[in-house]
Structure 1
Amino acid sequence: MVVLSASRVLDCVDDLINEGKQISVNGIDITVHKVFKYTSRLVIDFDNSRRENPELEEIPFTHEDTSNAMNSYWDLEKRTYMVSYGQKISIPMDAVGLILPRSTLMAGGTLLASALWDSGYSGYGRGQFMVNNPHGIRLYNGARIGQIILIKTEHTQETGYNGTYQNEQKR
């Protein structure tokens, strides 16, 4: 397994808030854009013929600073949320992507989960955000919550991801 350098990952990530702060040794830090709560269940089957994605409701900021958006925040209770990312990611045809939680989240009792990002995927994406800390979390707008890494595939793919989430827009 070969993990690509941060400079290679940087070529695949748009809309950075602060390049100097978001680049790490082997990846790029991904920020939170919006937070959602689930309002219905997921229905999933083998061939997606009965698939129903859960409905999501955006959670407004607990405190909104209209003069500086980075001072706005959410106070989140212990539960599972969906977060949208602030960066557009385009996975090259010779790699797959993984978003891992920043260690600060885990140290504070919070996890970020993300699926494999297939070769050829392009979009903003979302992740599951699990607040396990019984005291909750204060999450600032634009906080760095995850790190995307790219893993080189054995062969360059001829056709890439072409599923439901291709070209996912910023929510």
Structure 2
Amino acid sequence: MLPDIFDDIAIEWTNMLGTGAQRSTQGRDSDDTPVTDSTSPPTSGSRKRGSSGATKSTADSPSKKAEPPMSPSSSGRAKKSKLVLAKLLSKMKADDEQTSKALSHLNAEQHQRREVERQAYRQCLQLAIDCGIDDGSEEYFFLHEHFKDELERDAYLLIETREARRSWIQRAFEKHRRG
């Protein structure tokens, strides 16, 4: 039965299109389809049983190459494929530009944030010197590490007097020495 279904299909090997005649299934039931030997190819003089039960020559049927293809032409598909690819590339370029802009903006924000942190770090060290810490002392080198922490810098910058800053540094240094 399967060979009969594809009996009127021709394949154009150059562009891999299958073509076939329009078939009508009206008035046919499963008993009308003959069983053929699928191992031997049909010949041009073969006979085929029609829906009326009479034999009919397949030599009278139109040429398979003259029949319209079952799928759209390859040039139409190629144009449609090119259009889809062009749209896809355009979208990717637009997304790439947006990504580049976003990364540039993010990079600028990160640079600005690091610069603000550096200024606060330098300000804390300068305030430590202003309250009497020698820049060659152990306390000063301790503060180099201590002020890398943003919370410690913020806490130190909130202190208003030199004496209070000096006391804060001494307590933090003693705590560090203990442990």
Q: Same fold (TM over 0.5)?
A: no
The structure whose Rg is larger is 2
Greater strand proportion: 1
The structure with more helix, counted as a fraction of residues:
2
- The TM-score normalised by the length of structure 2 is 0.16
